[in-house]
Amino acid sequence: MTSLLDTPPLGLLDSLRGDRTKRPRRDLTSAAGLRATLDDEFFALWGDVVFDAPLVVRASTLRREQSTALSSHPLAQVRGVLVNQALRLVSVGVDLERPFDDALSAWRCEVGNNDLLAFVDGLDAEERARLASAVDAHAQTLARALGPLRGRWLPRTGVRASQRLAGGNVVVRDTVDLMVGSTTTDEASVALLDVTTAPLDENAERSMRFHALVQTLRTTTVPLRTSAFSTATGELWSLNVDVALLRRALDELVEAVRTLWSPS
Amino acid sequence: MTTLLHRRFSPSALDEIIATAPESSAILSEAHRHSLSARFRAVATTEHRAIDAWMVEHGGKPHDLFAWSPAMTRRTLANAALRRVRAHDVGVLDAVNEEVDELLVRAAAGYTRSGSLASWLAQLSSPERAAVLAEATSWTSQLVEVTAPITHAWSVAVADAHYDVAQARTSLRARRDLVVEGPHGRVVVRVRAGAPGKSAGPGLRADLTVDALRDLEGRPSTRYVGLWPEAGVLLSVDGTMDDLRAGARDLVRTAVAWRRHRVSVAA
């Protein structure tokens, strides 16, 4: 099910977690089948050949090139990173007064120095002010929509995952911006949230499915929901995770690997 | 023969791996300690060397210069916060906040040394401190997740295991995050970020050996478990004499490789 909200809900996470009494039972069995299917698909592609270097697949690998080109501009990247930092700060209850400055300080503290930070430092006053106002607007949209995060939901930000498939020939890497809920309850309760500064499109939907698949493989537990929130438009897309969705994500992953393996 | 076991992570996998730990484990005698000490002494050094599983896994490569960052603080803060969550039944974020506040109070009272976590936290701006909080909260939540299904008695390790090799200017360190009272003795769990590399097994065996050496009776854990939540992988080794010997051999080899690194840097 895909739901589209025209206006950001008061508590975005409240709506993601939904009614507890209506959640499906936790699915612990699908992960093994998905992994076996992936291994079979890859074996059909290259047999028992062992690659010198693995094929690395990320959510961005599944996207179409047009939008990748747009979002790979350093300014867009910096904006994305800073809005993500703002999410991390909001998740621990920080009231963002100056989102751009706060997010930049947090980012600098985390990574020390890198090329993107050097790019920000090299911006002239006008460009920097434009970036700051964009980040402030995106971060405020996010903070307003997110609402309070309860500690009992086990909020995790920037959750990384790495899965070796096909004997290490394929490595799947992923980072989920925000994850809440537990894999240990009897009913499915994990909700994944991807925050993007771009409007939601087909690529966002592919990423949502990819996150669900990778988290299923990592934890052996099928998440409850996978979602994407656009800070540009305030839209929230949310999908209930089921076997059909995971199967579709698997097909997209196999397709991406096939493209990587034989680019022609 | 090594007892290295590889399992995919699932909510019950850690508890199962603890429940199936072997009944008995080998014991390191005084003769074993003397023999190890002699081997380390044979790898001469003019300076003190500290060896841990990370160095074993990276062929004796010395650690980079240490600097605090949110990622470097997460294990210390998260383990302390997990202790609070268990003891006082508080939420994860509250536990991390309390831990950071306590460190800041200590820094303000002057009970900290320069370079310590408390003094570093005290000099951060509030957004920077929030970045630390976010990192530690995420890691604590991860720990709460993996420990929730454990049905045996367990506690957060008070400290890593350290062992000074007699007259060899060598300290060994084993990482320990959780100590579980398994059915036949203690099981140690260490939790690491990232994914295990090809030499994760030797690293785990090195930790097992150091953990046995620091025990007064030379008794190792019945099982030493490495958990990589991000990769969804569990590795374990049992406290057998074969694994202890392999761990000791890898530690000595690492000392040799470390000396080569130092010599090449000096040249």
Per-residue model confidence as pLDDT tens digits over B64-87: 889 999 999 999 999 999 999 999
Which of A245-254, B44-53, B162-171 is predicted most confidently?
A245-254
- B196/B249 same-domain check: yes
Whole domain around residue B248: which residue ranges?
5-63+151-266
Could you write out the DSSP letters of every residue in A96-156? -SSHHHHHHHHHHHHH-S-HHHHHHHTS-HHHHHHHHHHHHHHHHHHHHHH-PPPGGG--E
Instruction: Pick the closest to residue A120 from A152, A87, A85, A94 (CA basis).
Output: A85
- B124/B185 same-domain check: no
Look at residues B93, B124, B147 and tell me which one is the last residue of a structural domain: B147
B16 CB within 8 Å of a chain A CB: no
Residues of B in contact with A89 (CB under 8 A): 127, 130-131, 134
Residue A171 makes CB contacts below 8 A (sequence gap 6+) with A54, A55, A56, A57, A162, A163, A164, A165
Per-residue model confidence as pLDDT tens digits over A58-111: 999 988 665 555 556 888 999 999 999 999 999 998 888 899 999 999 999 999
What are the domain boundaries of chain A?
2-65+150-261, 67-146
- B168/B259 same-domain check: yes
Question: How many domains does chain B contain in total?
Answer: 2
Residue with tokens 């002239």: A124
Closest CB from A106, A112, A154 relative to B130: A106
ipTM above 0.85, yes or no: yes
Residues of A in contact with B120 (CB under 8 A): none
Angstrom distance (rounded) from CA A190 to CA A178: 10
- B192/B259 same-domain check: yes
Instruction: Please indicate whether, in this complex, the C-beta atoms of A89 and B131 are within 8 angstroms of each other.
Output: yes
Instruction: Please indicate whether, in this complex, the C-beta atoms of B134 and A184 are within 8 angstroms of each other.
Output: no
Look at residues B113, B130, B147 and tell me which one is the last residue of a structural domain: B147
- B91/B26 same-domain check: no
- B56/B139 same-domain check: no
CA distance B70 to chain A (A): 6
Instruction: Please indicate whether, in this complex, the C-beta atoms of A101 and B127 are within 8 angstroms of each other.
Output: yes
- B262/B155 same-domain check: yes
- Confidence grade of residue B248 (pLDDT, cut at 50, 70, 90): very high
B127 CB within 8 Å of a chain A CB: yes
User: What class does CATH assign to A2-65+150-261?
Assistant: alpha beta
Residue A257 confidence (pLDDT):
95
